[in-house]
Amino acid sequence: MSAHAEHNSHHHAPSGFKRWLFTTNHKDIGSLYLIFSLIMFLIGGAMAMVIRAELFQPGLQFVDPHFFNQMTTVHGLIMVFGAVMPAFVGLANWMVPMMIGAPDMALPRMNNWSFWILPFAFSILIASLFMEGGGPDFGWTFYAPLSTTYSNDNTALFVFAVHIMGISSIMGAINVVVTIVNMRAPGMTWMKLPLFVWTWLITAFLLIAVMPVLAGAVTMVLTDKYFGTDFFNAAGGGDPVMFQHIFWFFGHPEVYIMILPAFGIISTIIPTFARKPLFGYASMVYATASIALLSFIVWAHHMFTTGMPLAGELFFMYSTMLISVPTGVKVFNWVATMWRGSMTFEIPMMFSIAFIVLFTLGGFSGLMLAITPVDFQYHDTYFVVAHFHYVLVTGAVFSIMAGVYYWLPKWTGNMYHIGLAKAHFWLSLISVNILFFPMHFVGLAGMPRRIPDYALQFADFNAIISIGGFAFGLSQLLFVVVVIKCARKGDKVDDKVWEGAKGLEWEVASPAPYHTFEQPPVVK
C-alpha cells in the first residue's frame, strides 16, 4: 500500500452505518453478535410468553393449536441458533484475540460475512410466521414425517434459514480454530491458554464436525417434501427413525456446543472473585475434551422409546451416564477454587454461583433421563422440558449474562449501575425457579410436552409456572436497561476493573499484600 493510499484509508474510515456493515474489527463484530443475540433473546422470549399465556389455564384461550405449535417450534429455533450460539460467538470474537495476544481474528472478512448472513436467516424464519399456512409447526427438532409429509409449504423457508445459520456457524468456528492455532503470542503454549479459549477451541471443532450433519438432515427433509424422495417415508422404503438418528447425531453435540463456552466463562470469573488460581487447570482442559468426545456417542439417548435393541439401550445409557464424570470434575474444581478463597460477591460472581448450583441440578435430572427404563416414563413430558431449561437457561443464558457483566466494563470503559444489575440478578434467579422447577412435578405426573391444552389436575402448577415465566421475561427488560445505560455513560473504570482497588472490600479491609521481592508499601 502506498503512503498516499494508507493516508487516505486512515482519514476516510467509514462511519455510521457503513462502519458496522463493512467492519472487519473483531470487537465491532463481537458487539454486533451480542446485540443481535439480545434482540433474538427478547423475540424468542416473547414467543415463550405466548406459550405460557396459553397454558396459564386449561382450555384454549389465546391462540389456536396450530399457532401454538409454531410458537414452540420458532421459540426453540430462535433461542438455540439466534440467542445462545451468537452470544457465545460474540464473546469469542471479543475475548479470544485479546486473551491470546492476537491483533484480530485470523480471517476478518469471513468474520464480517459470517455475522451479516444471520439477520437474513432469522428474517426468513420469522417472516414465514406471517405467510399463508404459517411458519414451521413441527418442533425445533422437526421430526419426520411431521416436517416432510404433514407440514405446510413454508417448510422450504425453514430449511433455507437453517442452512444459512449453519454456514454462519461453520465459518465462525473455522475462524476461531485458525486464530487460536496460528495467532497465539510467543510463549503461549497449549497448556497456558486461558480456559475460555480452550473451551471455545473445542466447541469450534464440535461445530465443524456436526453442522454439516444438520445440513444433511434439512436437505433430506427438503427433497422428501418437494422432490419426491423417500429418505424418511416408510411407504417409499425410507425410515422415519433414521431421521432421528441423523438429527440427534447433530443435536447432542449441539447441546454441548451451547454449554462448553459457558464452562470457559465460569472458569474465568470464579478465580477472579475467589482471588485464587483456578483449581486443577489441566483436569479442566481434559474434562472439556472428554465431554466433547463423549458427546458424539450418546445421541440415541433421545430415542430410547423408538424400540432399539437392548444392547443399544445399554450402550447409550452407560455412555450418557459417563458424561457426568468429567462434568462432575468441573463442578468439583469450581467449588475447590472458591474453597477458602477471599470471596466477594460482585454481579458476575453471583451469576456464576447460581450457574454452578442450577446447572448441576439440571445435570442431575439429565442423569435421571439417561436411565433407560425410567426414561420411558419421563420421555416427552414436562420433566424433559424442566431438565433442558435448567441446563440452557440457568446454564448457558446465566453464563452469558455473567460474562457480559464481567467484561462490559472492559468493553465500554464504564461501570454499569450495580443496584439495577443486582435487581436483575435476584428477580431472574427467583422467577426462573418459579418458572422451571414446578415443571419437574407436572412432568412426573404425566403432563406431555408441546400441547396447547391439558387435564384439570395440572392447572395449579401451570398457573404458577406461567407467573414465573412472565416474571422472568419482564426481568430481562432490566438487563436491557443496564446494558444500554452502561454503554452510554457510567462511572469510568480502568482496564484492571476487577483486579484493582476499585471498591473491592478486601482491598479496603486489609493492607495491600506485597511480596518480598518488591518495595514494601510506604507507611504514611
Question: What does 336-396 look like in DSSP terms, one character per residue?
Answer: HHHTT------HHHHHHHHHHHHHHHHHHHHHHHHSHHHHHHHTTBHHHHHHHHHHIIIII
Which residues contact residue 264 at a Cβ distance below 8 angstroms, ignoring those fewer than 6 apart?
194, 195, 196, 197, 198, 199, 200
Assigned C-alpha cell, 488: 452510554
Query: Looking at 26, 52, 184, 301, which residue is catalytic?
Result: 301
The pLDDT of residue 507: 33
Query: Looking at 254, 313, 346, 375, which residue is catalytic?
Result: 254
- How far, in Å, CA of 479 to CA of 485, rounded? 10
Q: Can you tell me which residue has the cell 484492571?
A: 496
Assigned C-alpha cell, 192: 497456558
**Residue 413: count of CB within 10 angstroms of its CB:** 15
| Res. 427: pLDDT tops 60 | yes
The pLDDT of residue 524: 54
Asked about 424 being catalytic, the answer comes back as no
Identify whether the C-beta of residue 379 lies closer than 8 Å to the C-beta of residue 305: yes
Asked about 104 being catalytic, the answer comes back as yes
Asked about 252 being catalytic, the answer comes back as yes
Percent of the chain with pLDDT over 70: 93
Query: Looking at 26, 75, 184, 440, which residue is catalytic?
Result: 75
User: Tens digits of per-residue pLDDT, 65-107?
Assistant: 999 999 999 999 999 999 999 999 999 999 999 999 999 999 9
Query: Looking at 26, 330, 387, 440, which residue is catalytic?
Result: 330
Query: Looking at 24, 27, 116, 140, which residue is catalytic?
Result: 140
Asked about 330 being catalytic, the answer comes back as yes
User: Tens digits of per-residue pLDDT, 103-125?
Assistant: 999 999 999 999 999 999 999 99
Question: What sign results for the dihedral spanned by CA atoms 154, 157, 158, 160?
Answer: positive
Give the chain's mean pLDDT: 93
Query: Looking at 24, 104, 283, 450, which residue is catalytic?
Result: 104
Query: Looking at 252, 387, 424, 440, which residue is catalytic?
Result: 252
- How far, in Å, CA of 157 to CA of 128, rounded? 7
Asked about 267 being catalytic, the answer comes back as yes
Asked about 168 being catalytic, the answer comes back as yes
The pLDDT of residue 15: 82
**Residue 291 to residues 225, 261, 330, Cα–Cα distance (Å):** 36, 12, 11
How far from chain centre, in Å, is Cα 304? 26
**Residue 18 to residues 28, 104, 514, Cα–Cα distance (Å):** 12, 20, 49
Q: Is 398 exposed, middle or buried (0-12, 13-18, 19+ CB in 10 A)?
A: buried
| Res. 36: pLDDT tops 90 | yes
The pLDDT of residue 11: 57
Asked about 327 being catalytic, the answer comes back as yes
The pLDDT of residue 231: 98
Which region holds residue 11: left if phi is over 0, alpha if psi is between -120 and 50, else beta?
A: alpha
Which residues contact residue 463 at a Cβ distance below 8 angstroms, ignoring those fewer than 6 apart?
56, 57
Query: Looking at 410, 449, 485, 502, which residue is catalytic?
Result: 449
**Residue 371: count of CB within 10 angstroms of its CB:** 15
Query: Looking at 37, 327, 372, 431, which residue is catalytic?
Result: 327
Assigned C-alpha cell, 501: 482497588
Q: Is 460 exposed, middle or buried (0-12, 13-18, 19+ CB in 10 A)?
A: exposed
Query: Looking at 225, 302, 389, 440, which residue is catalytic?
Result: 302
Query: Looking at 267, 320, 412, 431, which residue is catalytic?
Result: 267
Longest dimension (CA), the chain: 89
The pLDDT of residue 502: 37
| Res. 235: pLDDT tops 60 | yes
Query: Looking at 114, 147, 148, 169, which residue is catalytic?
Result: 169
The pLDDT of residue 495: 72
Q: What is the mean pLDDT of residues 135-140?
A: 96
| Res. 384: pLDDT tops 60 | yes
Asked about 229 being catalytic, the answer comes back as no
Query: Looking at 256, 334, 382, 390, which residue is catalytic?
Result: 256
The pLDDT of residue 491: 85
Asked about 302 being catalytic, the answer comes back as yes
Which of the four pLDDT bands, split at 50, 70 and 90, describes residue 521? low
Name the more confident of 501 and 326. 326
| Res. 470: pLDDT tops 90 | yes
Query: Looking at 37, 168, 288, 290, which residue is catalytic?
Result: 168
448 phi/psi in degrees, rounded to 5? -75, 155
Q: What is the mean pLDDT of residues 420-437?
A: 98
Asked about 20 being catalytic, the answer comes back as no
Asked about 475 being catalytic, the answer comes back as no
Q: Can you tell me which residue has the cell 419426520?
A: 144
